[in-house]
């Protein structure tokens, strides 16, 4: 059975932080990613974004995900999360629905006015 709606997430911003990894001790290897979740229709056409944003913290060398996040890194992550903007294309589904409805309505009105 085919899915006509659902929810997915995309990385909308990335930032490297000058911190060392706790596992592999690689210098300046911590990366922050902001993931924005959105609702979609049909084949992943984004309709509208949700308010939910997640900050993923990982090491670029060993891909280690820290279980506990230091307070200083947590503050950097929250500041970065607050400055990230939602991309315009996440509203594409609403725009397509509006345009389709407008065109259909216009055709219906033009058809009913004809003598």
* Residue 99, CB-side half-sphere exposure with 13 Å CA sphere: 6
Q: Using the predicted structure, report yes or no on whether residue 1 has a pLDDT greater than 60.
A: no
Q: Using the predicted structure, report yes or no on whether residue 108 has a pLDDT greater than 80.
A: yes
pTM of model > 0.85: no
pLDDT at 103: 94
Q: Which of 107, 34, 28, 43 is nearest to 77 (CA)?
A: 34
């Amino acid at each position: 059975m085919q899915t006509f709606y659902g929810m997915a997430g995309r990385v909308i911003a990335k930032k490297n932080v000058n911190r060392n990894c706790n596992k592999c001790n690689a210098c300046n290897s911590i990366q922050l990613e902001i993931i924005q979740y959105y609702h979609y229709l049909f084949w992943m056409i984004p309709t509208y974004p949700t308010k939910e944003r997640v900050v993923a913290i990982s090491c670029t060398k060993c891909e280690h995900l820290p279980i506990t996040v230091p307070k200083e890194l947590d503050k950097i992550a929250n500041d970065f999360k607050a400055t990230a903007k939602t991309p315009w294309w996440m509203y594409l589904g609403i725009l397509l629905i509006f345009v389709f409805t407008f065109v259909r309505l216009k055709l219906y009105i033009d058809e009913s006015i004809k003598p």
